[in-house]
Chains A and B, each alone.
Chain A
Amino acid sequence: MSNTLDYQQKTLLQRLNWQDWLYAFVVVAGSIFAFVKYAHYMDAYEVAFLFGAAALFSYLGWQWKSLGKLVIIVGVLSIASIALYQGDQTRATEVFFLKFLISSQSAIMWMNVLFVLAMVTYWFALYRRSAFTANVASALTWVAVLFGFVGLMVRWYESYLIGVDVGHIPVSNLYEVFVLFCLITALLYLHYEQKLNTKQLGGFVLLVINAAVGFILWYTFDREAHSIQPLVPALQSYWMKIHVPANFVGYGAFSLAAMVALAYLLSSKGVLTSRLPSLEVLDDLMYKSIAVGFAFFTIATILGAMWAAEAWGGYWSWDPKETWALIVWLNYAAWLHLRMVKGLRGPLLAWWSLIGLIITTFAFLGVNMFLSGLHSYGTL
């Protein structure tokens, strides 16, 4: 009976080592510190979110060690940046490390540059079939994500430097959510990349991320959208902290699925077939990512309805943004129906999820550009 225990699956808690516990301790200690120092700025919900986030990130870090490392490094760099500010906004352009590295603007610019580099490197790796180059590309993507999160964290702090009443979480306008979109899409991709070893797909996924990067650059230089604006009254709510990120997990996952679908379609037509993962893997990845996206999009829409009930006087007003969220939801509900109930596979679903990206993009961006309504927080 020597092999009895070989198949014994350990539970999560049994698998944790001392580093995991140290990690969780640091995360929880950090949130306790924040609570002690800033509790008087928070309402009960926000306190719940604070500790909820600590629990969530501990759990995610346990499940996915790389994410845990990211959390710690983002924390260290953000605190370093905040320390360099010394509570003075003007130091952003005076102190070397802030000006060129970790002020929110610089960090986000680094993120942009690194995403572009990563994409080029991924494609080069695909072309040369080079595992080493692919590893470099993957590392570049991780560093881009690191800078992006540092940028957002520092931006959060900077908003409070402008005025205590101005300060808010940086998910309140198109510029900020575009950064968030890049980060979440990249993280979702990196997760699957590690799990399924699909570095060949990086170049595809970074296409959509770099489209967003292009938008951020245009938006920054042409419209100066990076300047931090105070919140309109309707956005001053704890709901924003959960509704917006949940939504962007959805958008990010749908975009990821669409890019995988693109790879699927090319591969099934004989283009790059020998370089890309097998169709089964692509199909599986596409399904998983739509499943994640659908779950989060559902939650985000429900949270949005609950917020609307508090801010607009009704949980559903058939506002263009709401209606388009419903259309996106219906679209992927139909997709999942076809796959799960009917067992459909193949190019049709890939086409569908590619077209789904167009619908999603319209809901995310087109509604803001072409339609007006209650939800007009990010106008172009």
Chain B
Amino acid sequence: MRFAVSLLSVLGVASVIGTVLKQNEPYENYIVKFGQFWFALFEYLGLYDVYHSVWFLVILLFLVVSTSLCIYRNTPAMLKEWRTFKDHATEKSLRAFSHQATFNLSGDYAGTKQNLLQFLNAKGFKYKIKAQEGGSELIAAKAGTHQRWGYIFTHVAMVVILFGGLLDGNLPFKVQEMLGHKRIETLDLPVSKVPAESRMSVSNPSFRGNMTLSEGATHNVAFLRVRDGYLVQELPFAIGLKDFRIEHYATGQPKSFESDLVIFDPELKEPITKTISVNHPLTYKGIAIYQSDFQDGGTGLKFNVWNLFSPGDKPRVLSGAIFDEGALGEGDDLLRVEYNDFRKFNIINMSPDGKGKPHNVGPNVTYKLRDNRGQAIEYVTYMQPMQIDGKFYFLSGMRETVQEDFRYLRIPADDDLSIDGFMGFRAVMLDASKYQEIAKRIAKKSLEGSGNSEIKKQFELSLVRLLTIFAQGGYSEVAKVIEQSVPEAEREASATTYIKMVNIAAYEAYNMGLELNKKPLLKNTSETEALMRDSLNAFSDMFFYGAPYYLQLNQFEHKEASGLQLTKSPGQKWVYLGSVILVLGIFSMMYIRERRIWLYLKPSANEVHFAMASNRKNLDFEKEFSLYREQLAGIVS
């Protein structure tokens, strides 16, 4: 008993560990989080998959064994209590009860006895009459003894449920692993290359695995994740995916995920076609197939690649597909492009205070650019310009490690909501041969009339110099030059002047870019000022973008993949059976009250002795006893 409560507590505490420490994450995450020493210790303790660790299973096993022992030891006594009327009670023993009373028998004996039996019947008691010496009689009655079954049911239920759970655990694999017959595979191999010792055969009694199916593909294996590796589970049939669909609500949130599956089985004359969705799985040959997630299935992509730092270049076309690779540049500057993910819908809350409604901002693509030394930078680029504070920007984020957040390059869209305006501006700003022209235009406007050619020349010279510096690294380069050449007291003033000059120059540069593309020119408005600010910021941020290439997604051919979960769970029916027994047991244990009544009829002394008992004394029992005492007194006298 004390053991049982302790065991329940230990199980509770052990369970907490697995909820505090995120389970079954990739092992690198744990190393980053805990460091090598703690990582190794925690791994040894099995903390990354607590619920399948040996020590946790041992606790469960203890629970099964101790519960079984309880059942074995107590059931005979319980059954005896359930059956017996306890008619061996003597007058003396009854008088020792805490709940008892003695009534004087006034009426005729037979009539009173009849009334007492009627009373017991009315109250739902079953009784047995036993003759005593001296003409006395004992009526022993019981009610609610089914309560005893509650004890048996609840405890049997625990064993049945745990047994079912054990059937669905990966015990067979664990044993085979310990014997050295099986091992997990940790390398990323094609299915056909996975060795036999990491494959589970069709006869594996229980498993829970995953399968990712691209549209149009067919597979006959699932992957079981175990610790930091996996096993290949062979299936007795093949599953094909015809189509995967996501439906959305009017607000943009996903409404349903559906997969049109085809089951191919040599035993079938015709393949089975069935649509599954979340909450509506398909079960075939004891294997339940669930819609669990989705991902890209190899979407075809077409980019315009801008070389950000080469002013003259027109964008190049680059084609690829998710999970494929491409290349940019050549020689030492060669960058491999790894296309990782494409998402057609991105529901984002773009309002600055976070209180607005999230909406769909259109497709984005995630890719990595990897250099010769293997260093990679990850990028996420949105296809369509996004509205932020009423203005439109092309967004592309970059980060060097997965732990970081993306840092975004925000390129302002032009009046046609295109990126060309900025790209034209950028080309002019990078092209030293254009600076003279810019300077001339500004000088013409601002120094008109003064006619002093010396001042004009001086002005043009300094502007060309400023633009040259700016083209080497944007604002931060300008700041560096100021720091080197201007005395501290004058820095702020000159910075202000430079920013003003760069802004004025940017206006001309932008227009020159538009001229080259034969687009209508900008007017001098406050919107234009904002556009200049954003363009200059984007230009400055370009130098921190990590790569000279901006991949502008132009077209895509969407191909999705459905994430299926496959489960074979022979223990499920046991668990459900156990659950039903458990509920029956709990209700009978708590809501059936066992009560016993003894009436000792003693005609020789004109006495009726009444005693009452319950295995659980509580308020209800006290009330019942008082009521019965009163009612019985009425009957007897």
Tell whether, in the assembled complex, residue A298 and residue B122 are in contact, meaning their CB atoms are under 8 Å apart: no
Contacts of B619 in A (CB 8 A): 280-281, 284
| 19 sample A-B contacts, Cβ–Cβ < 8 Å, listed by A number | A3-B635, A4-B635, A9-B122, A224-B355, A230-B249, A230-B251, A233-B257, A233-B279, A287-B618, A295-B590, A302-B579, A311-B279, A313-B288, A313-B565, A318-B15, A337-B4, A337-B8, A338-B5, A340-B589
Nearest residue (CB) in A for B579 is A302
Interface status of A59 (Cβ within 8 A of chain B)? no
Q: How far is the CB of B518 from chain A (nearest CB, A)?
A: 47
Nearest residue (CB) in B for A370 is B20
1/0 per position for B276-310, CB-CB distance to A under 8 A? 01111100000010101000000000000000000
Interface status of A131 (Cβ within 8 A of chain B)? no
Interface status of B193 (Cβ within 8 A of chain A)? no
Nearest residue (CB) in B for A371 is B19
Having A7-B122, A334-B8, one finds 10 other A-B pairs with CB under 8 Å, namely: A7-B123, A165-B255, A233-B256, A310-B281, A314-B569, A316-B575, A318-B15, A318-B18, A318-B51, A341-B1
7 nearest interchain CB pairs?
A: A313-B565, A233-B278, A284-B619, A313-B290, A320-B19, A7-B631, A302-B579
Nearest residue (CB) in A for B628 is A7
- Given A295-B586, A302-B579, verify A312-B290 contact (CB < 8 Å): yes
Measured CA separation A1–B279 after assembly (Å)? 64
- Given A298-B586, A311-B278, A327-B15, verify A230-B9 contact (CB < 8 Å): no
Tell whether, in the assembled complex, residue A309 and residue B634 are in contact, meaning their CB atoms are under 8 Å apart: no
Nearest residue (CB) in A for B292 is A313
Q: How far is the CB of B474 from chain A (nearest CB, A)?
A: 40
Nearest residue (CB) in B for A233 is B278
Contacts of A338 in B (CB 8 A): 5
Measured CA separation A234–B280 after assembly (Å)? 10
Measured CA separation A280–B623 after assembly (Å)? 12
Q: How far is the CB of A158 from chain B (nearest CB, A)?
A: 15
Measured CA separation A163–B279 after assembly (Å)? 21
Interface status of B119 (Cβ within 8 A of chain A)? yes
Interface status of B572 (Cβ within 8 A of chain A)? yes
Measured CA separation A289–B123 after assembly (Å)? 26
Nearest residue (CB) in A for B254 is A233
Interface status of B583 (Cβ within 8 A of chain A)? yes
Interface status of A237 (Cβ within 8 A of chain B)? yes
Interface status of B250 (Cβ within 8 A of chain A)? yes
Q: Which of B18, B250, B281 contacts A163 (CB 8 A)?
A: B250
State the majority secondary structure of interface residues on A.
helix
Measured CA separation A287–B292 after assembly (Å)? 42
Nearest residue (CB) in A for B158 is A333
Measured CA separation A8–B576 after assembly (Å)? 41
Interface status of A166 (Cβ within 8 A of chain B)? yes
Measured CA separation A166–B51 after assembly (Å)? 38
1/0 per position for B205-216, CB-CB distance to A under 8 A? 000100000000
Nearest residue (CB) in A for B291 is A233
Contacts of B631 in A (CB 8 A): 3, 6-7
Interface status of B23 (Cβ within 8 A of chain A)? yes
Tell whether, in the assembled complex, residue B279 and residue A372 are in contact, meaning their CB atoms are under 8 Å apart: no
Interface status of B97 (Cβ within 8 A of chain A)? no
Interface status of B187 (Cβ within 8 A of chain A)? no
Tell whether, in the assembled complex, residue A236 and residue B279 are in contact, meaning their CB atoms are under 8 Å apart: yes
Tell whether, in the assembled complex, residue B249 and residue A165 are in contact, meaning their CB atoms are under 8 Å apart: yes
Interface status of A40 (Cβ within 8 A of chain B)? no
Interface status of A79 (Cβ within 8 A of chain B)? no
Contacts of B583 in A (CB 8 A): 295, 298-299, 302
Contacts of B5 in A (CB 8 A): 334, 337-338
Contacts of B256 in A (CB 8 A): 233, 236
1/0 per position for B563-601, CB-CB distance to A under 8 A? 001110100100110010011001101110000000000
Nearest residue (CB) in A for B119 is A7
Contacts of B22 in A (CB 8 A): 372
Q: How far is the CB of A2 from chain B (nearest CB, A)?
A: 9
Q: Which of B1, B12, B355, B590 contacts A327 (CB 8 A)?
A: B12
- Given A323-B18, A330-B11, verify A306-B279 contact (CB < 8 Å): no
Pick the most buried of A165, A166, A280, A314: most chain B CB atoms within 10 A of its CB.
Answer: A314
Q: How far is the CB of A361 from chain B (nearest CB, A)?
A: 15
Interface status of B397 (Cβ within 8 A of chain A)? no
Interface status of B102 (Cβ within 8 A of chain A)? no
Q: How far is the CB of B485 from chain A (nearest CB, A)?
A: 52
Tell whether, in the assembled complex, residue B281 and residue A337 are in contact, meaning their CB atoms are under 8 Å apart: no
Measured CA separation A320–B15 after assembly (Å)? 9
Q: How far is the CB of A341 from chain B (nearest CB, A)?
A: 6
Contacts of A234 in B (CB 8 A): 278-279
Contacts of B11 in A (CB 8 A): 330
User: How many chain A residues touch the partner (CB < 8 A)?
Assistant: 58
Interface status of B104 (Cβ within 8 A of chain A)? no
Measured CA separation A367–B20 after assembly (Å)? 9
Contacts of B8 in A (CB 8 A): 330, 333-334, 337
Interface status of B84 (Cβ within 8 A of chain A)? no
Nearest residue (CB) in B for A311 is B279
1/0 per position for B89-131, CB-CB distance to A under 8 A? 0000000000000000000000000010011001100000000
Interface residues of B (CB under 8 A from A): 1, 4-5, 8-9, 11-12, 15-16, 18-20, 22-23, 50-51, 115, 118-119, 122-123, 165, 168, 208, 249-251, 253-257, 277-281, 288, 290, 292, 355, 565-567, 569, 572, 575-576, 579, 582-583, 586-587, 589-591, 616, 618-620, 631, 634-635
Contacts of A287 in B (CB 8 A): 618
Q: How far is the CB of B288 from chain A (nearest CB, A)?
A: 7
Interface status of A269 (Cβ within 8 A of chain B)? no
Q: How far is the CB of B140 from chain A (nearest CB, A)?
A: 20
Nearest residue (CB) in B for A367 is B19
Measured CA separation A291–B620 after assembly (Å)? 14
Pick the most buried of A6, A163, A330: most chain B CB atoms within 10 A of its CB.
Answer: A330
Interface status of A36 (Cβ within 8 A of chain B)? no
- Given A229-B253, A233-B257, A284-B618, verify A324-B119 contact (CB < 8 Å): no
Tell whether, in the assembled complex, residue B253 and residue A4 are in contact, meaning their CB atoms are under 8 Å apart: no
Tell whether, in the assembled complex, residue A166 and residue B19 are in contact, meaning their CB atoms are under 8 Å apart: no
- Given A163-B250, A314-B567, A337-B5, verify A309-B572 contact (CB < 8 Å): yes
Tell whether, in the assembled complex, residue A314 and residue B208 are in contact, meaning their CB atoms are under 8 Å apart: yes
Measured CA separation A298–B5 after assembly (Å)? 18
- Given A1-B115, A295-B587, A298-B586, verify A313-B208 contact (CB < 8 Å): yes
Measured CA separation A327–B20 after assembly (Å)? 13
Contacts of A336 in B (CB 8 A): 590
Tell whether, in the assembled complex, residue A163 and residue B249 are in contact, meaning their CB atoms are under 8 Å apart: yes
Interface status of A83 (Cβ within 8 A of chain B)? no
Q: How far is the CB of B347 from chain A (nearest CB, A)?
A: 12
Interface status of A294 (Cβ within 8 A of chain B)? yes
Q: How far is the CB of A197 from chain B (nearest CB, A)?
A: 12
Nearest residue (CB) in A for B4 is A337
Contacts of B280 in A (CB 8 A): 310
Q: Which of B277, B576, B582, B618 contacts A298 (CB 8 A)?
A: B582
Contacts of A299 in B (CB 8 A): 583
Nearest residue (CB) in A for B278 is A233
Measured CA separation A281–B618 after assembly (Å)? 9
- Given A305-B575, A337-B5, A341-B1, verify A233-B277 contact (CB < 8 Å): yes
Contacts of B635 in A (CB 8 A): 3-4, 7
Q: How far is the CB of B584 from chain A (nearest CB, A)?
A: 11
Tell whether, in the assembled complex, residue B249 and residue A4 are in contact, meaning their CB atoms are under 8 Å apart: no
Within 8 A of B (CB), among A123-165: 163, 165
Measured CA separation A3–B586 after assembly (Å)? 38
Contacts of B277 in A (CB 8 A): 233
Interface status of A315 (Cβ within 8 A of chain B)? yes
Q: Which of B12, B115, B288 contacts A330 (CB 8 A)?
A: B12
Tell whether, in the assembled complex, residue A331 and residue B281 are in contact, meaning their CB atoms are under 8 Å apart: no
